[in-house]
């Protein structure tokens, strides 16, 4: 297989019309659409489909290191590796990286499970034998559930930090409100990781933001006024939540991101960053995130 074959995707379709795409490179969800066919995740028009960088958008997986404060490359290597399909509710995909020939997979049980195990090269940079599994399930109401398992198949304990780096698509970032993170402590990446406390209100956006909210509630809501849409993120085993928007200046500095695209995205990432997760030999850790999107205009019939 050539280097680009990892951009093959598995397409999950659910009978009500919603769908999701999961790319073998990075084990990355690259699309999630509601029953009306509207894309709910942000994917940059400048995204680069070429290893070794993750595609800019969708839901990259940060493992075994979130961020750049460790010995590994930024956000770890899992997002830059080719994953294997373990189980699929549908035939394997036949599509290629140009996205032109997507094989739709129709199934009542829209599930795919991918796995990543380290190569010898990986073991040189992170000397721990693991099985990382990602199960992506599309529910009947279009909700997207991602279950991640990390099994220690080594002889010594290891620890890691983790994030599901979800890029949500929004109509206008200046009209977006995030609820559920009020009054929490956070580490501010724009201030060398200084620990600060969020004041009273829901979070709104008028500048670059890069924060790790600590020990958050299991439910976070992202309210997109203009699209009359509310995303609800529920999580388990992932105590923290990263909130990121590069805003104008940083957008211009990123080659795989359009200058104005910061207006149309917000990353809200279920994560375990402050306290590393420790897994003993033979044991397995599980983290879970469920995303749903409710459109108010849909319910009012407009």
Residue 269 annotated as catalytic = yes
- The span from the CA of 274 to the CA of 213, in Å, is 9
For the chain, give percent helix, strand, coil, nearest 5: 10, 45, 45
Residue 83 as a binder of ligand BG6 (CB under 6 A): the answer is: no
Q: Say what the alpha-carbon torsion angle 253, 181, 132, 49 is, to the nearest 10 degrees.
A: -20
In sign, the C-alpha dihedral spanning 97, 143, 18, 138 is positive
Three-state SS annotation for 222-255: EEECCCCEEEEEEEECCCEEEEEECHHHHHHHCC
Site for ligand BG6 in 239-278 (CB under 6 A): 242, 244, 267, 269
Question: How does DSSP classify residue 137?
Answer: E
Residue 55 as a binder of ligand BG6 (CB under 6 A): the answer is: no
- The span from the CA of 146 to the CA of 279, in Å, is 20
Catalytic residue among 14, 113, 261, 269: 269
Q: Which is nearer to ligand BG6, 44 or 147 (CB)?
A: 44
Residue 80 as a binder of ligand BG6 (CB under 6 A): the answer is: no
Residue 210 as a binder of ligand BG6 (CB under 6 A): the answer is: yes
Residue 225 annotated as catalytic = no
Tokens of 145: 């559930």
Task: Indicate the pairing of strand 229-236 with strand 219-224.
Answer: antiparallel
Shortest gap between Cβ of 74 and ligand BG6 (angstroms)? 4
Shortest gap between Cβ of 103 and ligand BG6 (angstroms)? 28
* Total residues in contact with ligand BG6, by rule CB under 6 A: 10
User: By rule CB under 6 A, what string of x and - marks binding of each residue 150-189 to ligand BG6?
Assistant: ---------------x-----------------------x
Q: Which of 4, 74, 145, 230 binds ligand BG6 (CB under 6 A)?
A: 74
Q: Give the binding site for ligand BG6 (CB under 6 A).
A: 67, 74-75, 165, 189, 210, 242, 244, 267, 269
Catalytic sites, residue numbers:
165, 269
């Amino acid at each position: 297989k050539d280097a680009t074959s990892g951009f093959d995707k598995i397409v999950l379709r659910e009978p009500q019309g919603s769908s999701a795409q999961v790319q073998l490179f990075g084990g990355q969800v690259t699309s999630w659409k509601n029953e009306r066919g509207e894309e709910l995740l942000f994917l940059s028009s400048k995204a680069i489909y070429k290893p070794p960088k993750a595609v800019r958008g969708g839901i990259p997986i940060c493992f075994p290191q979130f961020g750049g404060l460790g010995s590994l490359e930024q956000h770890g290597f899992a997002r830059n590796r080719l994953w294997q399909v373990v189980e699929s509710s549908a035939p394997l995909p036949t599509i290629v990286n140009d996205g032109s020939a997507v094989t739709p997979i129709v199934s009542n049980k829209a599930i795919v499970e991918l796995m990543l195990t380290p190569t010898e090269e990986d073991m040189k940079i992170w000397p721990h034998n693991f099985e990382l599994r990602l199960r992506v399930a599309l529910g009947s109401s279009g909700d997207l559930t991602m279950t991640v398992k990390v099994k220690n198949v080594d002889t010594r304990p290891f620890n890691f930090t983790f994030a599901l780096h979800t890029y949500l698509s929004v109509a206008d970032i200046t009209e977006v409100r995030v609820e559920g993170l009020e009054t929490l402590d956070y580490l501010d990446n724009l201030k060398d990781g200084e620990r600060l406390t969020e004041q009273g209100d829901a979070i709104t956006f008028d500048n670059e933001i890069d924060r790790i909210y600590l020990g958050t509630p299991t439910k976070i809501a992202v309210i997109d006024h203009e699209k009359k849409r509310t995303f609800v993120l529920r999580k388990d085993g992932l105590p923290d939540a990263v909130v990121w928007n590069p805003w104008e200046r940083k957008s211009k500095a990123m080659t795989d991101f359009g200058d104005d695209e910061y207006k149309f995205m917000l990353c809200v990432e279920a994560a375990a960053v402050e306290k590393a997760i420790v897994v003993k030999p033979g044991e397995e850790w599980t983290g879970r995130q469920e995303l749903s999107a409710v459109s108010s205009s849909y319910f009012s019939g407009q």
